[in-house]
Amino acid sequence: MKILAVSVSKPVEIQYNGKLIRTGIFKKPVASRLKATVSGLDGDGQADLEVHGGADKAIYLYSSDNYLFWQQELGVDEFPWGQFGENLTVEGLLDESVHIGDRYRMGDVLVEVTQPRIPCFKLGIRMGSSRFPKRFLQSGRVGFYVRVLQPAELGVGDLIEKVSEDRHKLSIRRSLVALSGGPEQLDVIKQALRIEALSDAWRKDLSKRLQKSSPV
């Protein structure tokens, strides 16, 4: 497993449906090595910090295997790295094999998986389809966020090593069942809430879902 691309961007303003939208989703690959800090990658930024960024969502990773899937699904020969708004395009680290709470070392950077990526409408802007975010979520190929436990520089070609696996073994793909409304939803929510590494934002969201489902 290794880093195939490092992509960053600063927020820009664009016109969308007659409104001025500020977004940082238009990531571009960079050749230089960047410092990964608890706040994210140097040179990167998000427009809405309530939804994106912060220590729990410092860096967003997406597997190159998912590129092959979407290129076939959408009939596109090739997407540029960073197309889905990710900071790191990686070899391996599939949604079904990465668990919330797993820790990885990328070069000298130590990170911890905190939650799946839940797409907003801005991914639809990037992909040119307002329906794409829903399709993206339903595919189970969403990628994941990490917090930085040990800051350092990283870059293309750095090897990725799993340092530890969370004992609850809730995969990124499986965790999406917490949003499904299906028969297994509550079990997955309860499992997720037992994970210490879970992001604060997702913990609050899942706790609310659990409370709403509980009988009065």
Residue 185's pLDDT is: 94
CATH fit for domain 3-165, picks 1.10.150.120, 2.40.33.20, 3.40.462.10, 3.90.480.10? 2.40.33.20
Task: Name the more confident of 47 and 176.
Answer: 176
Would the pLDDT of 146 be above 60?
yes
Residue 45's pLDDT is: 79
Identify the DSSP state of 81.
T
- Which distant-in-sequence residues (6+ apart) come within 8 Å of 144 by Cβ? 60, 61, 95, 98, 100, 113, 114, 115, 116, 117, 172
Residue with tokens 């994210």: 40
Would the pLDDT of 43 be above 80?
yes
Would the pLDDT of 52 be above 60?
no
Residue 75's pLDDT is: 95
Query: Which band of pLDDT confidence, cut at 50, 70 and 90, is reported for residue 51?
Result: low
Cβ atoms of 197 and 113 closer than 8 Å: yes
Would the pLDDT of 65 be above 60?
yes
Q: What is the domain partition of the chain in residue ranges?
A: 3-165
- What mean pLDDT is predicted for residues 127-149? 96
Would the pLDDT of 29 be above 50?
yes
- What mean pLDDT is predicted for residues 20-40? 94
Residue 48's pLDDT is: 61
Query: Which band of pLDDT confidence, cut at 50, 70 and 90, is reported for residue 216?
Result: very low
pLDDT digits 0-9 by tens, 193-211: 999 999 999 999 999 999 8
Residue 205's pLDDT is: 95
pLDDT digits 0-9 by tens, 179-188: 988 889 999 9
Q: How far is CA 187 from the centre of its chain?
A: 23
Strands 59-63 and 88-90: parallel
To the nearest whole percent, how much of the chain has pLDDT over 70? 95
- What mean pLDDT is predicted for residues 88-98? 97
Would the pLDDT of 50 be above 70?
no
Q: How far apart are CA 87 and CA 7, in angstroms?
A: 5
Where is average pLDDT lowest: 19-23, 27-31, 190-194? Answer: 19-23
68-88 as b/e: b if 16+ CB within 10 A: eebeeeeeeeebebbbbbbbb
Q: Is 177 exposed, middle or buried (0-12, 13-18, 19+ CB in 10 A)?
A: buried
Instruction: Give the residue among 31, 25, 24 at the shortest CA–CA distance from 3.
Output: 31
Residue 19's pLDDT is: 85
